[in-house]
Each structure stands twice: as C-alpha cells, then as structure tokens.
Structure 1
C-alpha cells in the first residue's frame, strides 16, 4: 500500500519506513514542520518519496498515518479526502500527556471518543495515562534498526542523549547533570546541547548524524537516561542495542524497557550517581550489563516484531476495522 505520513520523528520514522510499503512524506519549499521531506541525518530506503502538497491528491495514497491533531485538516485539504471517512487513517501518539498539564493523568487525548480513526501508542505507559474515552487504541512498542554490537567502553565517560536540554529543563532531567558530574565525566549528545552552561567534565556534541552518534556512544562506558517525563527515548533503546549498560530514572516506560541485569533503574539521586560511578570504575561490570541490555533490546524492541505489528494495524485500517487490542 501507499502510506502518507509527515516527517515528525526522525528516529521512529527510520524504523517504520523499513517495511514493505511505499511511503510518501510531504515536502514544502522551506522544509518546515509540515513539509520536512526525506531525512538528511538518517538512512531511509528508496521506498520513501517526498512530494509537494499540490501533488498529493493524485499520488494514489491508500492510508494516512496521522501524528499531530492539525494533520487531520492538512490531509483533508491536501488530499481532498477526510481521514477516517473517505481515507483509511491511523493516529500515532508518540508522547506522554503534556508535561505540566494540570489534569495528568486525566488529560483528554485529541482523538478521544471517536470511532473512525484508531489510536496507536508507542508505550503501554502512554496508553495508560492518556484518556482516549471510547476511541479504539492499541500499543505497538518501538522497534529499532539494529546498529550492531559496537560497545567498547574505552572512554570512562557517561553518555546522555537529549534534545533541547535548556528549554525542556526538568522534564528531561537537565538539572541532574551536576549529580552525574560528581561521578565522572559526562558527554551530552543532541540538538541544542551547546546551549548548556559550561562545567568541568561536561562535553557537548551537537546534532551528530545517527551513524556518527552510534559510534561515539559506543566508546562511552555507560548510558544515562535522565528523562523524568517523556515518552520512551529511542536513544535509550539504540544504546541498549549497541551494548551499553544503562542507568535510568524509574519514570514513564523505563522500568519496563530496562531489566535489572542491564543496569540500574532508580528514583533516588544518590543511587543514580553511585550507579554511574560503579560502571565508570568497572569495565567488566559495564560489559556484562551491556550484553544483557543488548539481548533484551533485540528480544523486545527488534525491527521484525515492530513491522509485523504495524502491518496488522495498517491492513486492518485499510479493511475498515479497528485497532483494539
């Protein structure tokens, strides 16, 4: 089938477009949020084509994967068909309810109480916390293109991956960096990490291509997942695939994603710092935990399972069925 989706989340889309379908992503002259087109820092197959909005109506689109509320209106305007009515559609929810929202865990989802478009969540935590009313929902856990076992741990540094750490602040755990620095050097990767205040032992690596970031992460001794309130970070799952041991906050989906033998998951600042220090000081311990992390990631977040689940949901939507389950 020919699937329309917007390039919203590059890492997730990289996995999704590895499937057996054709994928169309809108592109606009400014390559803005509604027309980013093909990825430039991820490796996408030739089955992904970019088309300007004026060509979409004649592009033979079979189904649309929506990811933001306003895409309902965009799809109707650009395709001349209404998602869920004239065009099969699925709504993919990447996120937890908005952090800071006064009604969490009672936050109403924008697709609540409608039957036309099933809602797919990327974690069980998100499905549990969003109030979707009578809308049909299911969970498809993330799947990762396996980068292979690469961990060397040659640098006794902790690695953190986060985008926009200054603006997002406590939700992504930016305030925890001084605690980590007390355990040893910390390298922070991601977009706009160069905005972080300088500190002894802190090094930033700004917006590396995915392949380069994987190489760099693999040289670090331990991966630290500092997010308090975000959906499950794909960088965490990528680090586990690479063979890094994990230290993570026991929030949202992390306690499900990281088994005890793969590292440490905790809500205690002191335990977070102590766990990082232990891994930095003991390469053999880090290697053992990293091997468990990779094994668990391959079993639970592998690409074949992810694509098979998505095929089931897309085919069901195309037939006019639901995604409940």
Structure 2
C-alpha cells in the first residue's frame, strides 16, 4: 500500500512508518511545515520516500492520511486534482484535544461521509464534536527504547515545548512549587529562558534542548517523570518515559488517568499531592524503581508498537476496500 502523509509529529510518525507499506512524505526545498520530508532526528526505514509536489502529481497513492485541515487542499493540488475522500480513500488523524469552546468545539471534519476521523485518545473523541462523521480511536504506539532507567540523578524530568508561551496549558505556573519538592530538569524546545521567566535558581530548574537521539538516555538518569500538563492530548513523552521504566507524577487530567494505572506513579488534581510524590521518589530510589517497572509493563501492554500497527492495518484495509 502507498500511503501519503505529511511529516507533522515526528514521534507518532516514527511508530506509524514501522508498518509494511510505502510511506510517501512531501518535501519542499525549504523543508518548511508542509514539506519537512524525512526526519533527521528519528530513525525511519527506507520505506519512507520523499516526494516533491511535482513528483506526487504522477504517483499512484492508495490512501491519504490527513492531519491538518489545510492538507486536504494541498493533497488535491499536489496529486493533480485527485481529492482525498472522493478520488482516493482518506482518513483524518486528529492528534490534539479540542481548544476554544470546550466541550462544544466542532471538529473541522464533522459531518463528513467521505472519510474516517481517527482520534489518538478516547478523551479526544469524547470532547470533540465530531458530528455524524465516522470516528474511531487508535491509541498511540511507541517504538520501545528499552528499560533504561537508572535514576542515579535525584531530580525529576519534565518534557515540554515552548513552556513560557504556553503557560498554564502545560502547567508552567506549577513548576516553582514543584521544584521545591524535587529539583527539575526541563527538556524541550524553547526552554532556555524558563528558569529566568520563573525566577528560579539553576539548581532548582535546569533547561536543556537535547537532540532526539540523546533524550531517552538523559531522561532515564532522572529519578521520576513529572507531567504537570493541564490541557493537551496524551503526551507521547509520558508514554516514552513509562517505556524507559520511569515512575510518573502527573496531573489527573485528559487521558493521563487512563494511561497511568495504579502503582505506576501518582496522579492527582492537587499540586501538593504531586509535589509530595516527586519528593518521595527523589528520596526513595527503590520505590521509584518498583513503580517505574510497573509503569513499563503497563505501557508495553497498552501502547506497544505491535497492537498499534495492527489496529492501523485493520483500518487502512477497511477504508481502501470501501
């Protein structure tokens, strides 16, 4: 099967392209958001092929995986007038929780009969107004990085991109109090000014923007994984941390309450409970190791690569037969 999709979310795409198909990824000279091409920081197989818009015009495509509203028009233009849903089978993959007038936010693909809308969490499907569009949920799959946790650094790891701009959405305002319980190492893009923005000394909050290939090893050195996000889709970084064998301390919001079972960490809507959990893991490495091992087992069972690819295979076969 020849599948056209844009390189939008590197971690999710890395799992998706492990399947048995040929994956066609648009590329533009500037490698901007609509033409990133192959990933440079993730390991993708040779079955992922870069194609320019000119090359796509004459290429056979079996199914299109749309991920952003404007991609439908891009696809029609770059595929020589062939429209997703009408001329080529299509699914729309929704990565994000709704924004705006939640829970009345209407999905851009609501009331469509010509495609299937795929959500990555049950929470997202519940909160989006999907109208009459056929919907399904295919939960995340993770390429297993292995059980790497050592916890040798008595610090908590946080992953968040653009924490200053995104603020309360990602729990940036909670970090000062949490850093009193456990010193924090914050990883992600545009984190350099975080400590200064929060007025925190470096020993309580260090920010690092590491290359993807170094991130898992760096996370595994920290005692626990802290996820203070108020409103988002389920972060792949949380699932990756669980795969690494890290115990999780997270706000009990969105899909986190489904992803982190009892014994794999601590979930609460009370910031003081999270602070106490982080403090305990920092001071009790054996407890962190035991809960982290349970977190890994739970993540492998629910978010392993094999079930993820199997569910996608079933859906793609179904939509291309219709």
Name the structure 2 match of 1:176.
174
1:167 CA displacement: 1.0
SS in structure 2 of the partner of residue 204 of structure 1: strand
1:211 CA displacement: 2.6
Name the structure 1 match of 2:59.
59
**TM alignment of 1:313-324, pairs within 5 A:** 313-320=315-322
1:119–1:136 Cα contact (<8 Å) kept: yes
Q: Deviations over 1:232-276 (max 9, x none)?
A: 000000000000000000000000000110010000011011110
Equivalent residue for 1:308, pick from 292, 307, 310: 310
Farther off after superposition, 280-289 or 52-61: 52-61
SS in structure 2 of the partner of residue 125 of structure 1: helix
1:92 equivalenced with 2:93 (yes/no):
yes
Name the structure 2 match of 1:263.
265
**TM alignment of 1:20-59, pairs within 5 A:** 20-59=20-59
CA distance in 1, matches of 2:193, 2:24: 34
SS in structure 2 of the partner of residue 307 of structure 1: helix
Name the structure 2 match of 1:192.
190
1:248–1:264 Cα contact (<8 Å) kept: yes
Q: What is the RMSD of the two structures over their aligned residues, measured on CA atoms?
A: 0.7
SS in structure 2 of the partner of residue 187 of structure 1: strand
Q: Deviations over 1:152-206 (max 9, x none)?
A: 0000000000011111111011111101111121000011111313322111111
CA distance in 2, matches of 1:152, 1:158: 13
Farther off after superposition, 188-197 or 249-258: 188-197
Name the structure 2 match of 1:205.
208
1:132 equivalenced with 2:133 (yes/no):
no
CA distance in 1, matches of 2:205, 2:236: 23
**TM alignment of 1:153-168, pairs within 5 A:** 153-168=151-166
Query: What is the TM-score when the length of structure 1 is the normalising length?
Result: 0.96
1:88 CA displacement: 0.6
Name the structure 2 match of 1:292.
294
Structure 2: stretches of 5+ with no match in the other structure: none
1:42–1:209 Cα contact (<8 Å) kept: no
Name the structure 1 match of 2:226.
224
1:13 CA displacement: 0.3
Equivalent residue for 2:142, pick from 138, 141, 144: 144
Equivalent residue for 1:113, pick from 111, 115, 119: 111
CA distance in 1, matches of 2:59, 2:73: 18
1:262–1:293 Cα contact (<8 Å) kept: yes
SS in structure 2 of the partner of residue 193 of structure 1: coil
CA distance in 1, matches of 2:305, 2:181: 35
Q: Deviations over 1:22-61 (max 9, x none)?
A: 0011010111110011111111111101111111021211
Structure 1: stretches of 5+ with no match in the other structure: 321-325
Query: What is the TM-score when the length of structure 2 is the normalising length?
Result: 0.97
SS in structure 1 of the partner of residue 25 of structure 2: strand
Give the number of equivalent residue pairs: 316
Name the structure 2 match of 1:323.
none
CA distance in 2, matches of 1:169, 1:287: 31
CA distance in 2, matches of 1:252, 1:265: 11
